[in-house]
Amino acid sequence: MNRTINRTINRTIISTESAPAAVGPYSQAVKTGNLVFCSGQVPLVPGTKSLAEGGIEGQTRQCLENLSAVLEAAGTTLQNAVKLQIFITDMKDFPKVNAVYSEFFEGDFPARFCVEVPALPLGALVEIDAVGICE
């Protein structure tokens, strides 16, 4: 027996000028209940269409700063992230990404994965997304 249950799902679209605008048909983040789902952030400097300088380290730092801004707009912080996904174009950069990543977290780290991909939007070297908890 198939049953259809109609439920209204409350969701809030999160948008902030403190992070780059979406470069496609998606939202910076969507909040539902106490969870916020952040779209992948490439290392664009907010207010510009330029990738962050400084190679993989500078780009990783910019991605995490952008994610922090989106999470703050949703009412939480990067410290309340429970899962991050990292996409890099060269696995040889993994140690450098880890070094920058560790600067952004205190205490227990969120769950995470990192994979190498052949290319990322706008020629970025790294892209990072996150799921966070709002209190």
To the question of pTM greater than 0.75 for the whole model, the response is: yes
How far is Cα 68 from Cα 70, in angstroms, rounded to an integer?
A: 6
- What CATH number does residue 135 fall under? 3.30.1330.40
* 38 noted as active-site residue: no
Give the number of domains in the chain: 1
**Residue 111 maps to a domain:** yes
Kindly give the confidence (pLDDT) of every residue in the chain, 135 residues in length, as a single tens digit, with 9 standing for 90 and above: 555 555 667 999 999 999 999 888 999 999 999 999 999 999 999 998 899 999 999 999 999 999 999 999 999 999 999 999 999 999 999 999 999 999 999 889 999 999 999 999 999 999 999 999 998
Quote the domain boundaries for residue 65.
Answer: 25-33+42-75+88-122+131-135
Out of 38, 63, 114, 134, pick the active-site residue. 114
